[in-house]
Amino acid sequence: MALAKPRISPAEQRAREAADQEAKRIRLAALSKDAEVLKASLIERYPHLFAVNPPRPLASGIHRVLAEQTGAPKPVVKLALTKLTRRNAYLAALSAGGPRYDIDGRPSGMISSDDQQAAVKALQRRLVRSPQAMARRKERKTAAAARPGPDSGSGHGAPGEAGAIQRVQVPSG
């Protein structure tokens, strides 16, 4: 005979869900902090890829090479790369087409037309955001920056420290 699972009250269920959400927020904050540290390290260690203007489109699968060379966990590497590749300048470089670059800065394949089109669409979506949406985004960033991190009493930076969206010229397609 199987034992019945004990029932929990709705209040206890809400408390458990809230605790789970808070634990998830703390894990994500730690992952994000690790990714920010790695991002700075990547810019310093690979300036030929990450400290050039305009940015160089990265070779497909470069996250595996970076994880191997840095020893960082793949989720941290992927998040650090996401922070670097979601910038408007990077999307503009993708939308222009041309080569992708490997870890040594050598051309390694070409940007596909699908990737170019996706970059153009992403830039267009950013450029047509309403002022209200931009204000809400800024408020969320300010609130997140003011919220204490999991291991310190301070935020991850001054409010407004994160760069504003940079306007770029989007090639018409």
What's the pLDDT score for residue 76? 94
Q: Which of 88, 76, 86 is nearest to 41 (CA)?
A: 76
Q: Which CATH architecture has domain 24-144?
A: Orthogonal Bundle (1.10)
pLDDT digits (tens, 9 = 90+) for 60-93: 999 999 999 999 999 999 999 999 999 999 999 9
Q: What is the CB-side half-sphere exposure of residue 110 using CA atoms within 13 A?
A: 6
Place of tokens 């306007």: 167
Q: What distance in Å separates the CA atoms of residue 164 and residue 31, rounded to the nearest whole number?
A: 23
Q: What distance in Å separates the CA atoms of residue 108 and residue 77, rounded to the nearest whole number?
A: 20
Whether residue 140 contacts residue 128, with contact meaning beta carbons closer than 8 Å, is answered with no
- Answer whether residue 172 shows pLDDT above 90: no
What's the pLDDT score for residue 1? 55
Instruction: Give the domain ranges of the chain.
Output: 24-144
What is the rounded average pLDDT of the residues 10-25?
Answer: 88
